A and B are shown apart, each in its own frame.
Chain A
Amino acid sequence: MYCTLGRITSSLQCVALYLRPVRHRCGVYVGPHVVENRGGQNITRHRKKHTTSLSQSQTPHHHNPKVPQTPTWECVREDQLPLPTKVPPDLVDKLERLALLDFRNQDGVDCLEKAIRFADQLHVVNTDGVEPMASVLEDRTLYLRDDRIEEGDCAEQLLGLARNTLEGYYVAPPGNIPLPERDEREVLLKYSEM
């Protein structure tokens, strides 16, 4: 089964075309105000406002002074970014095989290129001397478990989840089923339930 980039596609398209958020919760903030807006309460209030009224009318006495009245970030200029990335068809094919995605047609690939362009804005940030962070939990202690037997012995339950089993083994095809070639795939999809 192939996953399409449907819903994500449309929202990213909106974002990518203008290179700045349009009254949207996600976006790239480039500026010092980001620190002040981090307070949990503020964000909650902001969300609430967003869902109840999309229009600009906000009664002044409800407004939190820490939240600016107008957007404060600056657009990132084209010349600040590296060259736009083109995704060649071979690479698209490879990505589809590795991640089992389907770009369907050129629009899908365009969308991907725009998404990459949007992410290119991260290059503006100066990360000299900063260690990359893989997870926000990286300063937590890794818990070490005792070497004691506490799990297992649930073969019936596990095998019960599989459609096809044989004498206590899961049944799988003889090898990885190779993905059909591009042309075959389009034909397949036309007639699939997706």
Chain B
Amino acid sequence: MSEEKAGNGHRPGRAGSRLSQELVGVVGLEIHAQIHASTKLFSGSQVRFSSPPNSLVSFFDASLPGTLPVLNRRCVEAAVMTGLALNCTINKKSLFDRKHYFYADLPAGYQITQQRLPVAVDGRLSYGVLVDGSQNHVLERSVRIKQIQLEQDSGKSLRDGHRSQTLIDLNRAGIGLMELVMEPDMCCGEEAAAAVRELQLILQALGTCQGNMSEGQLRVDANVSVHRPGEPLGVRTEVKNINSARFLARAIDYELQRQMAVVESGGTVVNETRAFDFKSGQTIPMRDKEGLQDYRFMPEPNLPPLLLYDQQTAPMDADPTQVILIDQIQEQLPELPRVTRERLVKTYGILPEHSFTLVNEDDLVDYFVSVVQRTKAEPRKVIGWVLKDLLGQLKQRCLSTAQSPISPLALAELLDLLEAGRISSPAAKLVFQELWKGTGRSAEQIVEQQDLGVMRDHGEIERICQSVIDSHPEEVRAIRGGNRNVLNKLMGRVMKQTKGRADPLLVRTLLEEKTS
């Protein structure tokens, strides 16, 4: 039996009984997605980002006495759509409850939520983790969704450090949220980030949430713990204040490392809430004055149960605006990202990881399809140009696809020229750069004006090759001596002199002949 590794912090009782196992991370996410609707969950005030403070607040949102909640139909439909897209069971009867706690941004002193019986349960989110490196393919993973519930958002509080007070803006109070609770099926920051990215794409495709983390439309809290496989789960901490998918992976990984260090040095992890500080990349304990909160859940007395129907079970004489049909919503679900990817791979023969990149970028799928439809070049060639050349330039300049200076049509024309053999591929890259400058000229015009057309004069090419060989006797000797790589240098010289217009294959053949 192997002995304990030095400094590994094993408990004495386990000495020699089994091999020391690596600590693994366990990550569960709680996600609050702001429902994309015109009005709030229980009142008719507008939902809008960035408005004058307290201008989008009704009497109910301010919790003035005598006001009652009235449920927004759109919010229920959004929750049902999301539940169906995540393969959940939709509860035909769900209930509303009050969760009580005191804070200045919660004017009522309670939040209306669905604790006893939420609208959707038992779902599954499938996502892909891109494996970078030589393999470069996609691993399929999935995480179970425990439940999806409707609840109210709280207002916003701003710290005013100067005057030691808090400023409260209730514009956000009462906006509908879908809380998605995931089971702790993930093991690290990368998986969590990939899952959240996939969820963002699904919600955006459904239109139920715009998924913008920086605007607070999608908020993720991570529950993180470590343990050894086979042993019970460790003490977990909750990590909050994560404002982007990028920070999510970093925050979780930092917290996992921190906990592993604590456990391996013999300490115990404290059950607490920690905030992520993106500047330092660390998690910091939040002031925990309250201790364990007791929310005193009670049924919401002002709202009867929410009943959902199928086309078969719907009451005959019901008002259609008062009845929500689950199967009808199922039929009308838009195409989900995973289906889009499969469709792209099947229709255009591109690789799965390409389809991931395409779907990940806003509007890039439409761009790609536009180009394919307008050019004779094969989709497999188009994808290279779209993902490497176009996307590379966009990323470098922090532009979105919609802001691309090269339209799908322009790119299609360029690819047609290349396909017809009128220009060589190095020349095509030059034309691409010219097109990017956005001077309004088409690919053809650029080729003519800058004389980038393929050099047709065989004799001219041969003459240039000969002159390069004559002016580089050292290199020629090296090639004849067996060092074939030096040929590339000579090729580079020839290409430079011909401004990339010569056919690279022809140049190589000629040079090889002349140096043999």
> Hey, which bits of chain A sit against chain B, CB under 8 A?
94, 98-100, 134-135, 137-155, 158-159, 161, 166-176, 178
Q: Does B237 contact A (CB under 8 A)?
A: no
Q: Which residues of B contact A143 (CB under 8 A)?
A: 70-71, 322
Closest Cβ of chain B to A3, distance in Å, is: 14
Which chain B residue has the least Cβ–Cβ distance from A176? B102
**CA A149 to CA B103, docked complex, whole Å:** 27
Pick the interface stretch among B57-65, B196-204, B410-418, B457-465: B57-65
Q: Which of B399-417 contact A (CB under 8 A)?
A: none
B165 near A149 with CB under 8 A, answer no
Pick the interface stretch among B166-174, B216-224, B442-450: B166-174
Closest Cβ of chain B to A71, distance in Å, is: 32
Q: Which residues of B contact A173 (CB under 8 A)?
A: 104, 165-166
A98 near B100 with CB under 8 A, answer yes
Q: Which residues of A contact B294 (CB under 8 A)?
A: 94, 98
B72 near A135 with CB under 8 A, answer no
Q: Does B12 contact A (CB under 8 A)?
A: no
Which chain B residue has the least Cβ–Cβ distance from A170? B168
Q: Does B119 contact A (CB under 8 A)?
A: no
B72 near A147 with CB under 8 A, answer yes
Q: Which of B44, B100, B104 is A150 in contact with, Cβ under 8 Å?
A: B44
Q: Which residues of A contact B54 (CB under 8 A)?
A: 155, 158-159, 168-170
Residue interface bits B318-348, CB-to-A below 8 A is 1, else 0: 0001101000000000000000000000000
**CA A181 to CA B493, docked complex, whole Å:** 85
Number of inter-chain CB pairs below 8 Å: 137
B306 near A142 with CB under 8 A, answer yes
Please judge, given known A-B contacts A166-B167, A169-B158, A172-B168, whether A137 and B304 are in contact too, CB under 8 Å: yes
Q: Which residues of B contact A161 (CB under 8 A)?
A: 64
Q: Does B95 contact A (CB under 8 A)?
A: yes
Contacts A140-B304, A142-B303, A148-B44 supplied; 7 other A-B pairs, CB < 8 Å? A142-B305, A145-B70, A147-B39, A154-B58, A155-B54, A170-B168, A175-B166
Closest Cβ of chain A to B201, distance in Å, is: 24
Q: Which residues of B contact A139 (CB under 8 A)?
A: 304
**CA A134 to CA B321, docked complex, whole Å:** 26
B55 near A152 with CB under 8 A, answer yes
Q: Which one of A143, A169, A176 has the highest number of Cβ atoms from chain B below 10 Å of its Cβ?
A: A169
B322 near A149 with CB under 8 A, answer no
Please judge, given known A-B contacts A168-B54, A172-B165, whether A148 and B71 are in contact too, CB under 8 Å: no
B72 near A149 with CB under 8 A, answer no
A147 near B37 with CB under 8 A, answer yes
Q: Does B45 contact A (CB under 8 A)?
A: yes
Closest Cβ of chain B to A51, distance in Å, is: 29
Q: Which residues of B contact A170 (CB under 8 A)?
A: 54, 104, 167-170
**CA A137 to CA B305, docked complex, whole Å:** 9
Q: Does B52 contact A (CB under 8 A)?
A: yes
Please judge, given known A-B contacts A94-B294, A143-B71, A176-B103, whether A171 and B167 are in contact too, CB under 8 Å: yes
Please judge, given known A-B contacts A142-B304, A144-B76, A173-B166, whether A149 and B159 are in contact too, CB under 8 Å: no
Please judge, given known A-B contacts A143-B71, A147-B72, A176-B102, whether A155 and B324 are in contact too, CB under 8 Å: no
Q: Does B38 contact A (CB under 8 A)?
A: yes
Closest Cβ of chain B to A2, distance in Å, is: 14
Q: Which residues of B contact A138 (CB under 8 A)?
A: 304-305
Please judge, given known A-B contacts A134-B95, A148-B44, A170-B168, whether A158 and B57 are in contact too, CB under 8 Å: yes
> Hey, which bits of chain B sit against chain A, CB under 8 A?
37-39, 43-46, 52-60, 62, 64, 70-76, 95, 100, 102-104, 157-160, 164-170, 289-290, 294, 296, 299, 301, 303-307, 321-322, 324
**CA A145 to CA B71, docked complex, whole Å:** 6
B168 near A169 with CB under 8 A, answer yes
A145 near B53 with CB under 8 A, answer no
Closest Cβ of chain B to A47, distance in Å, is: 25
Q: Which one of A137, A140, A141 has the highest number of Cβ atoms from chain B below 10 Å of its Cβ?
A: A141
B299 near A135 with CB under 8 A, answer yes
A146 near B321 with CB under 8 A, answer yes
Q: Which residues of A contact B46 (CB under 8 A)?
A: 149, 152
Q: Which residues of A contact B58 (CB under 8 A)?
A: 151-152, 154
Q: Which residues of B contact A169 (CB under 8 A)?
A: 53-54, 158, 167-169
Closest Cβ of chain A to B43, distance in Å, is: 6
Q: Which of A150, A171, A174, A178 is B289 in contact with, Cβ under 8 Å?
A: A178
Closest Cβ of chain B to A135, distance in Å, is: 5
Closest Cβ of chain B to A114, distance in Å, is: 22
Closest Cβ of chain B to A44, distance in Å, is: 26
Which chain A residue has the least Cβ–Cβ distance from B157? A172
Closest Cβ of chain A to B65, distance in Å, is: 11
Q: Which of A94, A146, A158, A168 is B62 in contact with, Cβ under 8 Å?
A: A158
Q: Which residues of A contact B100 (CB under 8 A)?
A: 98
B304 near A135 with CB under 8 A, answer yes
B71 near A144 with CB under 8 A, answer yes
Q: Which residues of B contact A134 (CB under 8 A)?
A: 95, 299, 301
Q: Which of B38, B71, B301 is A142 in contact with, Cβ under 8 Å?
A: B71
